[in-house]
């Protein structure tokens, strides 16, 4: 009798295990079937998420740009605009970028800086134009900022540091102004992480090559900036989220060494110096 019960219990245990295994298989089948069906649905199309996101980005970009428009002086000169528009058309046509959608602004500031804003805005400081020795250097910086836009680095950073809802809720009053000021400060700083900066540099080299613009001057510009860095910042580069300019310059040259294109000059040195002088005189 004892032997019979033991065998019965063993058989019962096997039946339970088979049922459990069957239920597991069914659950897995349901999971993967559901996952497959959901993967076939274009949520961007059905729920207009892409359009919603673009609308939000444009709104955030406009809010931040309004802050700069009120606190900084924008340079508006038809001759300068023509050169920049020609440059953007060349880059855009070669890289399937709608150059008309890019809004280029020049601010009257001696700071050597450029940054991108949500809503396809690229802002250039007078000091950057002053420090660029040729138009190819400026083209390299612009391509770098376009890459930040393409990879959505700015929005990722703003959402991580401030939050999308907080920025969009910034209306009037001191609190709203402070939020936009904080967003503007983040946008103008160079504190992208290493991966984002390296990615933007790599994409910039691709953009330049496709537009038949030599990327080496972009590397030269970065190297020159490294020579202006404070020594203490170089010694702390290994713990910084922002890569040292010299290392970036070397990386750009290494990437470029694989390309053997015949590049076309954007303009003569005389034309560039005239453009640079004109942009510095426009205050």
pTM of this prediction? Answer: 0.74
Can you tell me whether residue 107 is helix, strand or coil?
Answer: strand
What secondary structure letter does DSSP report for 171? -
Q: Residue 85 burial by CB count (10 A; 0-12/13-18/19+): exposed, middle or buried?
A: middle
Q: What's the rounded mean pLDDT across residues 63-81?
A: 88
Of 244, 149, 159, the C-alpha closest to 200 is 149
- For residue 202, the surrounding DSSP H or E stretch is helix 194-210
* Predicted local confidence at residue 234, as pLDDT: 42
User: pLDDT per residue over 77-99, tens digit each?
Assistant: 888 888 899 999 999 999 999 99
Q: Residue 149 burial by CB count (10 A; 0-12/13-18/19+): exposed, middle or buried?
A: buried
Band the pLDDT of 136: cuts 50, 70, 90.
Answer: very high
Strand partners, 117: 121
Can you tell me whether residue 105 is helix, strand or coil?
Answer: strand
User: pLDDT per residue over 5-50, tens digit each?
Assistant: 465 555 666 666 777 777 778 777 776 676 555 555 544 444 444 5
Using CA atoms of 243, 247, 250, 255 in order, give the dihedral in degrees to the nearest 10: -40
Distances (CA, A) of 208 to 12, 140, 211, 270, 277: 72, 7, 5, 22, 25
Domain-wise residue ranges, the chain: 1-41, 51-281
Higher-pLDDT residue of 140, 31: 140
What's the CA gap between 204 and 215, in Å, rounded? 8
* Predicted local confidence at residue 16, as pLDDT: 67
Tokens found for residue 128: 């950057």
């Amino acid at each position: 009798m004892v032997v019979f019960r033991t065998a019965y219990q063993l058989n019962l245990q096997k039946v339970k295990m088979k049922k459990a295994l069957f239920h597991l298989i069914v659950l897995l089948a349901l999971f993967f079937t559901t996952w497959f069906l959901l993967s076939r649905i274009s949520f961007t199309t059905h729920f207009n998420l892409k359009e919603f996101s673009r609308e939000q980005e444009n709104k955030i970009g406009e809010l931040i740009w309004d802050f700069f428009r009120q606190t900084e002086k924008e340079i508006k000169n038809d001759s300068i605009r023509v050169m920049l528009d020609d440059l953007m058309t060349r880059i855009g046509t070669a890289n399937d970028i709608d150059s008309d959608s890019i809004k280029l602004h020049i601010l009257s500031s001696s700071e050597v800086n450029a940054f991108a804003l949500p809503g396809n805005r690229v802002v250039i400081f007078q000091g950057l134009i002053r420090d660029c020795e040729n138009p190819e250097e400026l083209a390299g910086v612009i391509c770098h900022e376009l890459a930040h836009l393409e990879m959505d680095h700015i929005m990722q950073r703003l959402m991580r540091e401030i939050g999308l809802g907080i920025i969009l809720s910034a209306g009037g009053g001191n609190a709203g102004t402070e939020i936009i000021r904080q967003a503007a400060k983040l946008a103008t700083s160079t504190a992208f992480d290493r991966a984002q900066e390296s990615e933007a540099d790599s994409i910039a080299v691709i953009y330049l090559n496709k537009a038949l613009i030599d990327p080496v001057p972009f590397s030269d510009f970065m190297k020159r900036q490294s020579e202006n860095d404070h020594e203490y910042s170089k010694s702390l580069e290994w713990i910084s989220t922002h890569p040292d300019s010299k290392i970036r310059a070397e990386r750009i040259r290494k990437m470029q060494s694989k390309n053997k294109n015949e590049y076309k000059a954007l303009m003569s040195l005389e034309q560039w110096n005239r453009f640079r002088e004109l942009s510095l005189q426009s205050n």
